[in-house]
Amino acid sequence: MTTTTRAHPGPTDPTGETMERPTTATRATTTAQTAQTAQAAQTAQAAQAAQAAQTAQTAQTAQAAQTAPAPDAERLRRWRMVLGSDGAETTGPALTGRDAAMDGALNALYGGGAGRKPGDRGPGGRSAGLGASAPSVARWLGDIRTYFPSSVVQVMQRDAIDRLGLASLLLEPEMLEAVEPDVHLVGTLLSLHHAMPDTTRETARTVVRKVVDGLEKRWESRTRATLSGALDRSARISRPSHRDIDWDRTVRANLKNYLTLPGRDGAPSRGTVVPERLVGHGRAARSVRKDVVLCVDQSGSMAASVVYASVFGAVLASLRTLSTRLVVFDTAVVDLTDQLDDPVDLLFGARLGGGTDINRALAHCQSRIVRPADTVVVLISDLHEGGIRGEMLKRVAAMKASGVQFVALLALSDEGAPAYDHEHAAALGALGAPAFACTPDLFPEVMAAAIEKRPLPVPDKEPPP
């Protein structure tokens, strides 16, 4: 018997027609198509999200580019600050805010409107000029201390005094309270102190005291350590203990006893020095071992040197094993040795300006020398001699022949050598006293070398002729 299996009728559609029930194959196909559709949708959604993120990133980049200055904007800004108002038309938009204030302070000193007060408006609305009004200058000094570092402020103050003739305003107490103290300001005050009214003199001493205390703090410990060691080493003893042997001088003293010894077992030969004579340095003592004479030119160009020499003179005078004398000169000679305990009093005892008579100053120093072999004379001068040139050189030659260590410094400052007399410098060099500029940092080493009677640490680069 044959059995026929009929499929169950499927559901009917709204019209009453019978709908076929999907078979397994049909259902699988439909499921696959649905999965593909879903995957495609997810892919499209991910692509849309990535595109949206990229669009947002592009928008942010564009916004940042609009907000941040162009790569050359900072360069143009710097050039604008350098060129001043003359460069306003070629270096982009006008300055605003802090930049405009800095530009005004610079233009007041270096701009073309010098002579107007800082509050006046020059071309383009920019202020220029310092005028001769103390309140205006005091405000300007406050501005530059706000906008610039201390080292720049000191340079600008110096330029204002030199370019605009503001030295007379420093005679007013409110001006001195507004300035940034430095060595060059002290030099200016010293040149003016004879004209200072009583109301300003004490303020000026306070400014000078602040600078001097800073310089002493900077160099005192190093100078004392360097020179104390040099003084100890300069006390030679012929039978030193092992720990007191000065090996460098011992080797040099026995180079004549150099021997070449053959090597053993094929080794190369080697040399040795037989130390017949030992050279040693003694221990620290309380007695005076060396005399130092500082002979300082106080002509106008040597202002910074006078300040530094006074500070170092006070430090040297505090060493018990040194006897220090300080002499300043122009056409007259002033011995300030009795004021070495207070550099401020010493500085106010100097008189900057005037001519130069080096021969007369050296004659005074030479007359005070009692132990030539233990004396160091330091001449600090630009060597523009107004006295008798031949006599000056003869005195130097006579001092060196007697055993004096003679040191010639064209300047004692950080600025290098000023204009100086090259002919006199060459003549001193021929006498064995090279003339060179010395920075305050190098001065302790120069003095140590002179005390030990060894070659001076002359800088490699000599001043240009």
Q: What confidence tens digit (pLDDT) does each residue in 381-435 have?
A: 999 988 788 999 999 999 999 999 999 999 999 887 778 999 999 999 999 999 9
Write phi, then psi, for 236 (nearest 5 degrees).
-75, 140
Cβ-based neighbours of 131, under 8 Å, separated by 6 or more: 115, 116, 117, 118, 120, 137
Q: Closest by alpha carbon to 136, among 158, 154, 155, 114?
A: 114
Distance CA 207, CA 285 (A): 38
Q: At what angle do helices 198-234 and 303-317 cross, to 10 degrees?
A: 60
The fraction of the chain above a pLDDT of 90, given in percent, is 27
Upper half-sphere CA count for residue 136 (Cβ side, 13 Å): 18
96 pLDDT exceeds 80? no
Q: Which residue has the tokens 């207070």?
A: 342
CA triplet 83, 86, 89: central angle to 5 degrees?
105
Give the distance, in angstroms, between the CA of residue 239 and the centroid of all CA atoms in the same chain: 46
> What pLDDT is attached to residue 415?
80
Exposed/middle/buried for residue 357 (C-beta within 10 Å: 0-12, 13-18, 19+): buried
Write down the mean pLDDT value for the chain. Answer: 76
In this prediction, residue 377 has a pLDDT band, given cuts at 50, 70 and 90, of very high
Task: Tell me the β-bridge partners of 325.
Answer: 293
Q: What is the mean pLDDT of residues 360-383?
A: 95
Write out pLDDT tens, residues 426-446: 999 999 999 999 999 999 999
Query: How do beta strands 322-329 and 333-335 pair?
Result: antiparallel
135 pLDDT exceeds 70? no
Compare 365 and 7 and report the one with higher pLDDT: 365
Distance CA 377, CA 375 (A): 7
36 pLDDT exceeds 50? yes
Q: What is the mean pLDDT of residues 61-67?
A: 49
Least confident of 78-82, 87-91, 121-125, 332-336: 121-125
Distance CA 244, CA 86 (A): 69
Compare 373 and 387 and report the one with higher pLDDT: 373
Least confident of 83-97, 294-308, 324-338, 429-443: 83-97
450 pLDDT exceeds 90? yes
> What pLDDT is attached to residue 382?
92
Q: Which two tokens stand for residue 210?
A: 């602040």
Write phi, then psi, for 343 (nearest 5 degrees).
-60, -30
The DSSP element (H or E) to which 416 belongs, if any, is: none
Upper half-sphere CA count for residue 120 (Cβ side, 13 Å): 18
Write out pLDDT tens, residues 246-259: 777 788 888 888 88
> What pLDDT is attached to residue 77?
75
Write out pLDDT tens, residues 269-282: 778 888 877 776 65
Give Dmax over CA atoms of the chain in angstroms: 158
Compare 162 and 222 and report the one with higher pLDDT: 222
